Amino acid sequence: MSIGDNGSARGSIGSGLVVENLHVAYGGVPAVRGISLEVKAGEAVGLIGPNGAGKSSTLLAIMGAIGRTGRVLVDGRDIAGLPPEKVVRTGVALVPEGRHVFAELTVADNLRLGAVGRRDRSGYAEALEQILTMFPILRDFGHRQAGLLSGGQQQQLAIGRALMSDPDILMLDEPSLGLSPTAVDTVFEALDLIRGAGKAVLVVEQRAEFTIAFCDRTFVLHDGEITLTLKPEDAEKVDVLTKAYFG
């Protein structure tokens, strides 16, 4: 499905991400303790919580980058045992914390590399055009070295590169980290379009109020467990926010 389709795939049966009873441990020390969550096509779901709560571990475990137990279903398919490069081909993409663009390569080459995980090679040109329309700066600076872009521009590139793999599920780890307020707005306007195009968006953030207001649902993670599930209207409730921050 393409960006701008206006959510034609919204709510299709079985589409999206389902996580059941996810556990992660590092050297026997638990970091994620039995998380279950669902992100349907056309939804954005937030994951917030204090440092060390297990947010990044959850995304990495879904991606197959670290060991886990529990079930992960992508568009209804159990992806048990798949390494990250194969998980990408099932339709999951991760924009990791800190962006990680290839600094020495041009913007255009970074985007080209993102297409390696595509299931449908034929949609390449169309996908690229959609991404360049969503992030015009990537078109303007196509020949520039990625390392010379500002933080906000690099975040747009990192998201664009992830979209080049044509994911049904887009996961982002703290996309607003270190960005100016304007750059944060640009990123979240893009996430709104991506959600509107029928993709499932799972976003880890530190900025609780902003995330709760943006997402269809937000889970609060404390010490590896989901302790609260919040709706957009909860963003205005001080007592709820206090609980989200301090447990």
Ligand X SMILES: Nc1ncnc2c1ncn2[C@@H]1O[C@H](COP(=O)(O)OP(=O)(O)OP(=O)(O)O)[C@@H](O)[C@H]1O
Region binding ligand X by CB under 6 A among candidate stretches 3-11, 55-63, 69-77, 113-121: 55-63
C-beta of 198 vs 224, nearer to ligand X: 224
Region binding Mg ion by CB under 5 A among candidate stretches 19-27, 49-57, 76-84, 127-135: 49-57
Q: Does 244 bind ligand X (CB under 6 A)?
A: no
Contact string (CB under 6 A) for ligand X, positions 32-51, x = contact = -----------------x-x
User: What DSSP element (H or E) covers 106?
Assistant: none
Task: Give the phi and the psi of residue 55 in degrees, each rounded to 5.
Answer: -65, -55
Cβ neighbours of residue 102 closer than 8 Å, sequence gap 6 or more: 109, 110, 113, 146
**What residue type is assigned to position 239 of the chain?**
D
C-beta of 32 vs 72, nearer to Mg ion: 32
**What residue type is assigned to position 176 of the chain?**
S
CB contact at 8 A, 131 and 111: yes
Q: Does 154 bind Mg ion (CB under 5 A)?
A: no
DSSP string, 88-114: HHHTEEEE-TT----TTSBHHHHHHHH
Contact string (CB under 6 A) for ligand X, positions 105-124, x = contact = --------------------
For residue 200, the minimal CB distance to ligand X (Å) is 20
C-beta of 145 vs 227, nearer to ligand X: 227
Q: Does 56 bind Mg ion (CB under 5 A)?
A: yes
User: 99: exposed, middle or buried (C-beta count within 10 Å: 0-12, 13-18, 19+)?
Assistant: buried
